[in-house]
Amino acid sequence: MNKDIATPVRTKDILKKYGFSFKKSLGQNFLIDTNILKRIVDHAHLTEESGAIEIGPGIGALTEQLAKSSKKVTAFEIDQRLLPILSDTLAPYDNVNIIHGDVLKADVKKVIEEEFTGFSDIMVVANLPYYVTTPIILKLLSENLPIRGIVCMLQKEVADRIAAKPGTKEYGSLSIAIQYYTEAETVMIVPKTVFMPQPNVDSAVIRLTKRVNPIVEVLDEEFFFIVTRASFAQRRKTILNNLTSQLPDGKTKKELIIAALEASEVDPSRRGETLSIAEFGRLSDALLPNFK
Whether 152 and 124 have beta carbons less than 8 Å apart is answered as yes
Residue 48 assigned as binding residue: no
Residue 127 assigned as binding residue: yes
SS (H, E, C) the chain: CCCCCCCHHHHHHHHHHHCCCCCHHHCCCEECCHHHHHHHHHHCCCCCCCEEEEECCCCCHHHHHHHHHCCEEEEEECCHHHHHHHHHHCCCCCCEEEEECCCCCCCHHHHHHHHCCCCCCEEEEEECCHHHHHHHHHHHHHCCCCCCEEEEEEEHHHHHHHCCCCCCCCCCHHHHHHHHHEEEEEEEEECHHHEECCCCCCEEEEEEEECCCCCCCCCCHHHHHHHHHHHCCCCCCCHHHHHHHHCCCCCCCHHHHHHHHHHCCCCCCCCHHHCCHHHHHHHHHHHHHHHC
Task: Measure the CA–CA gap between 86 and 77, rounded to whole angstroms.
Answer: 10
Residue 56 assigned as binding residue: yes
Task: Measure the CA–CA gap between 163 and 135, rounded to whole angstroms.
Answer: 16
Q: How many CB atoms lie within 10 A of CB 19?
A: 7
Residue 202 assigned as binding residue: no
Whether 63 and 33 have beta carbons less than 8 Å apart is answered as no
Residue 288 assigned as binding residue: no
Q: State the binding site for S-adenosyl-L-methionine.
A: 29, 31, 56, 77, 102, 127
